Amino acid sequence: MTAVRPPSPAASGAGERPGRALAGLRERKKQRTRMALIDAALDLFLAKGYEATTIDEIVAAVEVSQRTFFRYFATKEDVVTGFLAEFDQVLAEALTERPPGEPPFTALFESLRVMVRTIAESGPADIERFRRVRQVIEATPALVAAQMARYSASEKVLATEIARRQGVDPETDLRPQIIVGFHGAAARVAFEDCARRDIWDPATVAAQVERTVGLARQTMRDWI
């Protein structure tokens, strides 16, 4: 962790800086605790199975209370799906920042690139978490269902934004849902193909995602 230097008394606004520094330290501590809970849970899920692991065992491994656990996660399931949902948020935020008038599929594709780049830049620890989360989900039918629910929730957010960008009503116009569902399916094929072949290198995954989504676009032109 990078050391936080005390502010110079002569610096302008110095009286405000200690508060900001302390807030930053608190946030970093919260993030370390959250990651420790995720890592401990994944260790236990892979060793014992998801269903056989209790929240008591997870908090004992990190030496925190159940109350602390529930500050970060509503359920045991959230330990797995919540980690992935953070990157859904990156995708959604990137889409809102795409230029007006950009075609919907292009906007989704460029937003996906931002998400993949964020994953790559998050470091080896998060990439390893992705691999282990994938292993836990594949071994747990209940989590497969939760993963599908997560996909659905994410796609609803994206479709709402596409509808806004295109100036259509998502309640009566199905095109935003269609384009988002098509794009999301292509991206999932790419991610699942990499997972099946145990490919986790960020550059390789990113290249496969780009190829697959590009192939989906070409297939729509050629096969329909």
First and final C-alpha spacing in the chain: 53
* 3-class DSSP assignment, residue 48: helix
The residues, ordered by sequence, that sit 6+ positions from 188 with a Cβ below 8 Å of its Cβ are 151
Task: Work out the pLDDT band at 97, boundaries 50, 70, 90.
Answer: very high
Whether the per-residue pLDDT at 15 is higher than 80: the answer is: no
Q: What is the pLDDT of residue 166?
A: 96
Same-domain pairing of 50 and 134: no
pLDDT in tens, 38-89: 999 999 999 999 999 999 999 999 999 999 999 999 999 999 998 888 899 9
pLDDT in tens, 168-222: 999 999 999 999 999 999 999 998 888 888 888 878 888 898 899 989 988 988 8
Quote the number of domains for the chain.
2
* 178 is a domain residue: yes
**At which of 73, 101, 116 does a domain end?**
73
* 8 is a domain residue: no
Same-domain pairing of 162 and 192: yes
Same-domain pairing of 134 and 40: no
* 1 is a domain residue: no
Q: What is the pLDDT of residue 6?
A: 47
Q: What is the pLDDT of residue 3?
A: 43
CATH assignment at residue 102: 1.10.357.10
Same-domain pairing of 50 and 112: no
Same-domain pairing of 49 and 79: no
* 191 is a domain residue: yes
Compute the average pLDDT of residues 4-32: 62
Q: How far is CA 30 from CA 24, 27, 212, 218, in A?
A: 10, 5, 37, 45
Same-domain pairing of 43 and 118: no
Same-domain pairing of 163 and 69: no
pLDDT in tens, 132-172: 998 899 889 999 999 899 999 999 999 999 999 999 999 99
Range of the domain at 40: 16-73
